[in-house]
Amino acid sequence: MLVSTKGRYALRVLIDMAEHQGQGYVTLKEIAKRQEISEKYLEVIVKVLVRNGFLVGVRGKGGGYRLAKSPDECTAADILALTEGSLAPVSCLEQDAPSCHRAAECRTLPLWKGLDDVIQNYLSQFTIADLAKQNQEYDYVI
């Protein structure tokens, strides 16, 4: 599994917004500057986050974006599944995947199911609030 920049940047945007949620609506320009991400690329990411209820946007003077949910309600698994489409390690485990005629005899299926469970369980234990807190404790970049 390779997480794209879209998934990584979506996490960074939400962490940034959690850290600045007391400031009201935050502009993309501010986020782009702090995160060193193209404002144009952020527009694409933010559109997905708004459409799926993670952000609320207001146009005009004093406008921008703010979190639509508490940072405690947003997990890394939720955000990455949304932006990446799937976190499954193999295509046969993706949601709505067609049935594999070899599933009953597949010697590796238990391995892939186990890995999928580990990925889901691991990413589900981290909320945006957790990641924002870590950012204050450590100097790191996603």
Residue 51 CA to residue 73 CA, distance in Å, equals 17
One-letter amino acid at 105 equals E
Taking only the tens place, the pLDDT of each residue in 21-35 is 888 899 999 999 999
Side-chain half-sphere of 31: how many Cα atoms within 13 Å?
Answer: 29
Burial 11-44, CB ≥16 within 10 A → b, else e: bbbbbbbbbbeeeeebebebbbeebebeeeebee
Stronger pLDDT, 96 or 55, i.e. the higher one: 55
Neighbours of 98 (CB within 10 A): 8
Taking only the tens place, the pLDDT of each residue in 96-141 is 888 888 888 899 999 999 999 999 999 999 999 999 997 555 555 5
Among all chains, which residue has been given the structure tokens 């459409």? 51
Find, among 75, 97, 94, the residue nearest to 86 by Cα: 94
